[in-house]
Every structure is written in C-alpha cells, then in structure tokens.
Structure 1
C-alpha cells in the first residue's frame, strides 16, 4: 500500500462521529431502530459522520431501494429503504455523510449514494482533521493471515464479477445472501475462526501514509493499540438484538476539535 487517497476536513468541522459494523437489516430490528433514532438525535451534534464499513449485514444491490423490491424481498427492501431515508434526512439537515464499503456491503453503489446523500469513500483513506493525519479503513485488508478471505475479497471487489452478480434477478440474490448469512453465522460462532488485524501490516500502512493514527472496524475487538508512538483504534460493532441477558452494544467514536488538538471520546448510542 503505497498511495493513500486523502480527504481534508473543512475548517468549519468541529465534531466528527465514526461508527462501523452495524450490520443493519431485517434480521436486526432493534439495532436498526437504534441507529435510525441516533441519526435523528445525538448524531446531529456531528458535522460529519463516517461509517467505516458493514453498515448493512448484507447488501445485495442498490435495486433494494426501488419500490418494486418491496414485492420481491419485502422485509429487506423495507428495512433498506427506511435506513436510506434516515441517512438522507441526516445529510439534508446539513451534515456530511461518508460511507466505506465493508465485507458485507461491498455492492453499495451510486444509486445508494444518490438516495442517501452519502459520499462513498475509498479504502483506505487519510483524513486530515485539526492537523492530524488519520488513516480510516474498514479493516479487513489488514487481516493478512486469512488468505482464503483475501482471495474471496479480491474476487468480489472485481467490477466484472459485480456486474455479473447484479445482472441476476433480485430474488435470486436474496436467496443467495440468506444462504451465505447462515454459513457465516455458523463460522462466527467459533471464536477461533475470527481473523485479527496484523499489527505489522498496520504499521506499514501508517508509515506509508505519514500518519501515527489509524481507526478501523471489522474485527469486533474494540481496543486502543499503542506502540512506538503509533495508535490503532478499533471500533466496536453494534448489536442490540442479542439473546436475552446480553448487553446491547452501540457505540460511536467522536473526534472533537479542542484548540489545535483533537479530543477523542467514545460514546454509547443507546
């Protein structure tokens, strides 16, 4: 990774909120509603919201936003359209909205961006805020030890492969997504299968980007990793639909301008 696209925050920005791994969809109604409620309320304290991947549990194509989709995949389409409307309302109220692709919603495209007012971000990207260069990434590219996944990722990010998939009927894509989600849930039930980011790869990225600060999601292992003057912050995933007795998770990381510096504040969203 030798070249990093960049984004310079306007000087007027004073507060930035970052989230990742919300995994929204019909299968997670409480988490989805929590996010919609947060967008309409506390999130509006932010000048900009960055969603670093996996906004959706699965995104089978922007045609989920078409009215006709309600007759093909009613639950997922209705949920997708509710979320899109909430994002559009957030953007229309004067807040900047940025979305990176994750490993679950890599098919998010121009129709989604137009419907929501979101800017689709490259991965990785360097955000400059208050003089700080911050590497933002979903995080899956850092999991270099998972070679099978990296091969899969290269395939599904190929434009020709995506065109072929999106040419299939929406109903067929919905069925395939259901089968993949079932298989994924079985694999995630075994923690030994969870890949983690490679610290050496992260350091290489930071060096190449001329940065000492990285923020990412994907691994569902929220923690601040310090070493040799470098900081790698891992965002928490969201889950308000867990089994009875489990604590709901919904958190945003806030970057707040303080003088010439940045205050970092994790805040619960429930």
Structure 2
C-alpha cells in the first residue's frame, strides 16, 4: 500500500507548469469545488448568474478543480435535453468572449475534462500543480487531492483513473453506461464520507515539500472543503471553500480575489452564499 501511494505521489513531482499573468491582470477570481450539475440546481444557477456579472470585473477566473460533480466525457455536451452542464459551459464561453481569461484544473470529480470542454467553454485546461506567476510572486495552484497522502485507497484510485489507458476504456463505453457508473461511484463516496472526514485532509508536511520543491512561498488549493489560511513559517497555504446553495445552511459560495499591486498582492475572501440555503 505504501509503495503504491509513493508511486502515485511521484507522478505529481514532475516539473511544475507555469501560468504567467500578463501585466494587465489587475483582478483575479479563484474558486474551487463547485460540484455543479443536475443534482445541484440552485448552486449551478447561482454560478451562472455570477459569471454573467463577472465580465469587466475580473481579468481572469481560475477554477481549481471539481467545477462539476461528475464529468463522464466531453460528449456529455452533445446530449439532449440540455442541462446544467450546457448552461455552465455557455456562461463560461460568454465570459471568455468578454475578454476574461479562464483557467480550469481538473479535480477528483471532473478529471475527464478534455479538449471538447475547453473548446465549448473558452477555458484553458491547467496542469495540476500549476505555478501562477503574478505581480512578482510565485503562487502554487492545485486542486489539492494529491496532498491527502494518508488516504491510500483514494491515491490508488487516483493513479488508476488518471491512466490514459483506463480513461480510453471508460470513454469507449456508451454515455448512459458511463452515467450509471458515475452515479454508483457517487453513492459509494457518500457511504464512505465519515472515513473521508478523517483521511481527506491535506498533509501539511507534503504541502511544505511541494512549496520547497517549487521555491514558492504561497499555495492555494481546494478539495478538502475546509477554508482556512495555514501559516508555516514564511509559507502560506490558503484553502478554498466548496460551493453549496442546495443543501448547506448557511449556503456556501466563496470567491478568493487577488489584486496585484506594484509591490504586493491584495487578498480578499467574498462569500456569495451567506444566507440560509433555500428550502
């Protein structure tokens, strides 16, 4: 078990790709773990409304994984009738057309996001991890699931589902068959949620190793649904909140704003879902 986990983590130690922010980026919005889809109609609708108002306000939107609750292949967008997946992609495309740059990392729920999604949404698919070079700072961006090194079972699954051969085999199946498998996997995930509460947190030592390896003082990630600022010496690890306006009370819909200035970067957390969840 230990060797398999170590092998999975070794794959995440490849040289980190970079995202160099143009000089005109003065306002960036970061979100994570929206889990959008038909099972979350209120959250999905709220995100689409927020995107419609984002044009002209943000120069870039960075989504750090789990934009969707499940993504069973880009041909999902060819299905009829239309659903929340189509609405979200169209809203992203409209935002991109307004001049806002959109970057999306794959999460543990939507790791099959591919070039078809990128074309339809106007988004750029980002590596994980990815180094954001902004205002003279190096900020390491990740979904965060690979930091949960105590969850050996998940790391084995992550190694499997990121294998191009496994993905090709899964995508070769009919869409409805893939949909049923995704539903079964989601139910299994719910049943093991109690165990994940204990095993699903990011390991501070692993995060520190990532930052040391990349010579960066700052990391932003999601996945754990435990928003907080973690300081370890001169290193900062910021954890993003998930979004849930369907089941949580009060609702959660948090955005992390970055405002690069001449010598520093302003940081602001905004909660768009501070009120109670609708009934």
Q: Smaller-chain TM-score range? A: over 0.9
Can you give the 5+ residue segments of structure 1 that lack an aligned partner in the other structure? none
Within 5 Å, which residues of 2 pair with 1:11-160? 11-42=23-54, 44-66=56-78, 69-70=79-80, 74=81, 78-160=83-165
Q: Which residue of 231, 238, 246 corresponds with 1:233?
A: 238
Q: Name the structure 2 match of 1:268.
A: 271
Instruction: Give the match's secondary structure for 1:250.
Output: strand
Contact 1:44 1:90 in 2 (8 A): no
Q: Which residue of 259, 262, 269 corresponds with 2:262?
A: 259
1:29 to 1:194, Cα distance in 2 relative to 1, 3 A: farther
Task: Give the Cα separation in 2 of the matches to 1:217 and 1:78.
Answer: 25
Task: Give the Cα separation in 2 of the matches to 1:260 and 1:134.
Answer: 15
Count matched residues: 261
1:79-134 per-residue CA deviation (whole Å, 9 max, x = no partner) reads 11111101100101100000000000000000000111100000001001000100
Question: Where does structure 1 differ by over 3 angstroms across 4 or more consecutive aligned residues?
Answer: 189-194
Deviation at residue 192 of structure 1 after TM alignment: 3.7
Contact 2:55 2:98 in 1 (8 A): no
Contact 1:56 1:104 in 2 (8 A): yes
Task: Give the Cα separation in 2 of the matches to 1:43 and 1:222.
Answer: 26
1:253 to 1:192, Cα distance in 2 relative to 1, 3 A: closer
Instruction: Give the match's secondary structure for 2:243.
Output: coil
Deviation at residue 178 of structure 1 after TM alignment: 1.0
Q: Which residue of 208, 212, 220 corresponds with 1:207?
A: 212
Contact 1:217 1:237 in 2 (8 A): yes
